[in-house]
Amino acid sequence: MTIEAATKFRAHVDANQDLQDSIRDQMADGNLNLINIGKEHGFEFTDEELKEITDQGELSDFELELVSGGIAVSCEDT
């Protein structure tokens, strides 16, 4: 688990429209867990690592959309 993996996952989401759509669907269902989604796509990182990279710099347009939809960008693994 690394900051690097969280950073790569973030870039992967930004570049993948289908994944963004899946995340939107899961958010609408109230069943969004970014840690698990990352694992499903080969990226292992902790909630703290994801939070650390999202606290640095600007959020992407997609991340801003998630935040404006009422969720935090990071989600704990449950």
pLDDT digit of tens for each residue in the chain (78 aa)? 789 999 999 999 999 999 999 999 988 888 889 999 999 999 999 999 988 988 877 888 888 887 776 555 544 544
User: Where do the DSSP E strands lie in 1-78?
Assistant: none
**pLDDT value at position 59?**
84
Cβ neighbours for 61, distance < 8 A, ≥ 6 positions apart: none
- Cα separation, 66 vs 38, whole angstroms: 16
pTM: 0.79
Reading phi first (left if > 0) and then psi (alpha if -120 to 50, else beta), residue 70 is in left
**pLDDT value at position 18?**
96
